[in-house]
Amino acid sequence: MAEKVVIATRRSRLALWQAEHVKAALQRAHPGLAVELLPLSTKGDELLDVSLSKEGGKGLFIKELENALAAGRADLAVHSMKDLPAELPPGFALAAITGRDDARDVLVSPRAQSLQALPAGAVVGTSSLRRQAQAAARHPRLAFAALRGNVETRLAKLDRGEYAAIVLAAAGLKRLGLEARITAYISLEESLPAPGQAALGIECLAGRADLRALAVALEDREASLCVRAEREVSRALGGNCALPLAAHAECKGDRIALRALVASPDGAAIARAECEGPATDPEAIGARAAALLRERGATEILAALAP
């Protein structure tokens, strides 16, 4: 068993919080283990003036971390599961999925207590086509604009008046101690989350059985089962985490209930699916949901997004 591990992480305050969280959990599980962080800048952090969906998706946030693993500069990498592509590159493995926090989206606004209360034409900022599509379907009179940058940067843009409201992940604000900025929680019915939202993933080289043995102590069985079902929907429909695709699963005893959708960015077309099955095979539930989505128009919606 390793005596020291190095964790690769992005440099943002949220990413560092997440890496520190994993570091502390590893040291609790393995007393005497030395853990260091290796903060790195990623292309996703540097490209702030373009849409992620046009530049390769959220996988841009992880390439440099995987390069550090491959070069031996780091042993583990910590990711937000919603940023991790459904298919990992050959030679890499997901060693553990940690317990999930609040998976809901939230509204942050100085002007209104809900999207419904905003005036017609009000500009809502979001980094996600998924959030935009679902909000636009319910509130077509609002305007939506891209919102990039880390959490603090997005809040600063709101405070400068560039947006009437912004939509963020609840988990990120809570982890940064910014829960007081939340104006309202958006229900799962109104804004279904991204696959893996609010869960953390620990990645390593596939051949490092020693590291996988270390990380497995942090695995949360229920979160892992649910996230695996959600990620299978994404994998079956193309694996791009920048797509306007949502999936959220819940464990109910020995079964998993999964909801998923694919939407056009303007919210005009939405395909929905709900599936339930035994927790022993979460990927089968995700695959079934993806098949239902295709039957209900997802293929055509996604084809219209192709460049």
Can you say whether residue 56 is alpha, beta or left, with left for phi > 0 and alpha for psi between -120 and 50 degrees? left
Using CA of residue 146, residue 151, residue 156, residue 159, what is the dihedral sign? positive
Annotated catalytic residue 105: no
Backbone angles phi, psi at 27, to 5 degrees: -70, -30
Which entry of 83, 220, 254, 281 is annotated as an active-site residue? 83
Residue 56 CA from chain centroid, whole number? 15
Residue 241 CA from chain centroid, whole number? 8
SS3 of 56-102: CHHHHHCHHHHHHHHHCCCCEEEEEHHHCCCCCCCCEEEEEECCCCC
C-alpha gyration radius of the chain: 19
**∠ CA(285), CA(87), CA(274), 5° rounding?**
20
* Residues classed as catalytic: 83
